[in-house]
């Protein structure tokens, strides 16, 4: 369990908070580039680390991520006109460029210099891998964005989606890095052979209490979970957690890789961006169709929204008959199953009430790393990963070995995780 003070530090991300300050040292994923695909397109509301913002693409294709509220009378620029290289407030016509400069103030006399004294909060942006990124921290601390493998692949080799989840980012990440729950929440209740078909072998169904080995890294940690297989070998699954909220789970053989970003909108809401990709070939139309239906790595959303089809308001479409006879949860889709568990714990989990065991090894370590980094920053120590994007050029991996040894004792396994 955590103390109430540490739980607050872990989960509160708004301006002026310890974790909020830490996260502002990193480049933040904002939304997908295709959400603002065309010059002068409709602006999009986004909320990031408790700040209400809008994203827009100007006439020349540049992307702005700026304060949603006009500095004049605080009206929302979501209703603004995106025209002639700027967003113009429709209340009094004040206009701002992607850097926050006021370029026109028609409600003031022509000889007024007032517009030179007014600036809209605007954050530096980059577009990488089909994602818009923003840097919200001190300008003098700005480093390079992370160098994730999928950022450098052609569009044909990846598929991305975004959806919202109604709880704090930390419990979302904790659900993702908890390897033990796979043997339960995502399993079937039919014969073991059916479980094997569904989970690519008896790795998860046969050994439901994996042995953990966590290795700290400069970018976060490698989360190794070992399971004993039916033939006496050892299946190691090495997942990745990267500062401050990125995860990559090792795929079962034949699956595309998937990478998720658990971006805090505010203390009680999370924006999730998922990228599925194949480093050595194109993703298939069949895969994309399945992802859009929410069958595996992505969530199916209500058209025109970022709200999952299976959500808290409809109890995640749980089917009790299916739960009795087919699946452990009665909920269709890995994303919906995970969301039901982490959202049902509340908007922010009260971690003073927890009772953690060995299966929570990765969860405990992630909390310690984040809390340690936030406290170190408060004492003047900057996070190493925030300014060194090359540290992020690593991937997840799974493999079978015959000896009962830890994965990090094998150079070939460690090498397989480097891009």
Determine contact, residues 270/164, Cβ cutoff 8 Å. Answer: yes
In sequence order, what are the residues at sequence separation of 6 or more whose Cβ sits closer than 8 angstroms to the Cβ of residue 348? 7, 11, 167, 168, 171, 267, 268
Contact 227, 206 (CB under 8 A): yes
CA-CA distance, 26 to 384, in Å (whole number)?
Answer: 10
Please report the pLDDT score of residue 200 as a whole number: 45
The domain locations on the chain are 33-141, 149-416
Q: Residues 138-164: pLDDT tens digits? A: 999 999 999 999 999 999 999 999 999
Q: Are strands 122-123 and 125-128 parallel, antiparallel or unpaired?
A: unpaired
Beta carbons of 328 and 186 less than 8 angstroms apart: yes
φ, ψ at 310 (rounded to 5°) = -90, 110
Q: What is the pLDDT of residue 55?
A: 98
Choose among 205, 175, 186, 191: nearest CA to 327: 186
| Among 304, 247, 266, 75, residue whose Cα is nearest residue 168 | 266
Helix (H), strand (E) at residue 411: helix 411-416
pLDDT of residue 16: 97
Angle at Cα 275 formed by Cα 398 and Cα 210, nearest 5°?
30
CB 16 within 8 A of CB 22: no
Structure tokens at 100: 């926050």
Do 149-416 and 33-141 have the same topology in CATH?
no
| pLDDT tens digit sequence for 240-284 | 999 999 999 998 888 999 999 999 999 999 999 999 999 999 999
Which residues make Cβ contacts (< 8 Å) with residue 165, sequence separation at least 6? Answer: 172, 269, 270, 272, 308, 339, 342, 343
The domain made up of 33-141 is a member of CATH 2.102.10.10: yes
75/178 Cα distance (integer angstroms): 43
Q: H/E/C letters for each residue in 164-183?
A: EECCCHHHHHHHHHCCHHHH
Instruction: Summarize pLDDT for 331-383 with one digit per residue, the tens.
Output: 999 999 999 999 999 999 999 999 999 889 999 999 999 999 999 999 999 99
* Alpha carbon distance 148, 115 (integer Å): 40
Using the predicted structure, report yes or no on whether residue 191 has a pLDDT greater than 60.
Answer: no
Assigned fold of 149-416? Naphthalene 1,2-dioxygenase Alpha Subunit; Chain A, domain 1 (3.90.380)
Q: Would the pLDDT of 193 be above 60?
A: no
């Amino acid at each position: 369990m955590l103390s109430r003070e540490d739980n607050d530090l872990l989960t509160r991300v708004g301006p002026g908070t310890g974790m909020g300050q830490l996260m502002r040292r990193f480049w933040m994923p904002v939304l997908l580039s295709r959400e603002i695909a065309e010059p002068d397109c409709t602006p999009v509301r986004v909320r990031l680390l408790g700040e209400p913002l809008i994203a827009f693409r100007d006439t020349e294709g540049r992307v702005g991520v700026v304060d949603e509220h006009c500095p004049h009378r605080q009206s929302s620029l979501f209703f603004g006109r995106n025209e002639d290289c700027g967003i113009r407030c429709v209340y009094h016509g004040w206009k701002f460029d992607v850097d926050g400069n006021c370029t026109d103030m028609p409600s003031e006399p022509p000889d007024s210099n007032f517009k030179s004294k007014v600036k809209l909060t605007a954050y530096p942006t980059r577009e990488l891998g089909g994602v818009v990124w923003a840097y919200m921290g001190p300008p003098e601390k700005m480093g390079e964005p992370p160098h994730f493998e999928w950022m450098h692949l052609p569009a044909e080799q990846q598929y991305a989606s975004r959806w919202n989840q109604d709880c704090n980012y930390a419990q979302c990440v904790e659900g993702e890095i908890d390897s033990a729950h796979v043997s339960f929440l995502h399993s079937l209740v039919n014969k073991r052979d059916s479980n094997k078909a569904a989970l690519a072998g008896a790795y998860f169904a046969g050994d439901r209490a994996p042995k953990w080995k966590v290795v700290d890294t400069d970018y976060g940690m490698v989360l190794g979970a070992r399971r004993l297989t039916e033939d006496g070998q050892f299946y190691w699954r090495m997942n990745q957690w990267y500062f401050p909220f990125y995860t990559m789970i090792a795929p079962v053989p034949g699956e595309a890789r998937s990478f998720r970003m658990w971006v805090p909108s505010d203390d009680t809401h999370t924006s999730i961006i998922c990228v599925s990709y194949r480093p050595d070939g194109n993703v298939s139309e069949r895969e994309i169709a399945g992802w859009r239906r929410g069958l595996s790595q992505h969530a199916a959303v209500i058209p025109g929204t970022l709200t999952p089809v299976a959500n808290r308001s409809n109890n995640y479409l749980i089917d009790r008959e299916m739960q009795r006879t087919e699946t452990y949860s009665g909920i269709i889709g890995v994303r919906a199953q995970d969301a039901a568990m982490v959202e049902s714990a509340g908007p922010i989990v009260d971690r003073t009430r927890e009772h953690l065991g060995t299966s929570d090894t990765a969860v405990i370590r992630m909390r310690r790393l984040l809390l340690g980094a936030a406290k170190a920053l408060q004492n003047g120590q900057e996070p190493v990963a925030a300014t060194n994007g090359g540290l992020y050029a690593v991937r997840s991996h799974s493999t079978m070995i015959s000896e009962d040894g830890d994965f990090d004792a094998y150079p070939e396994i460690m090498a397989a995780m480097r891009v």
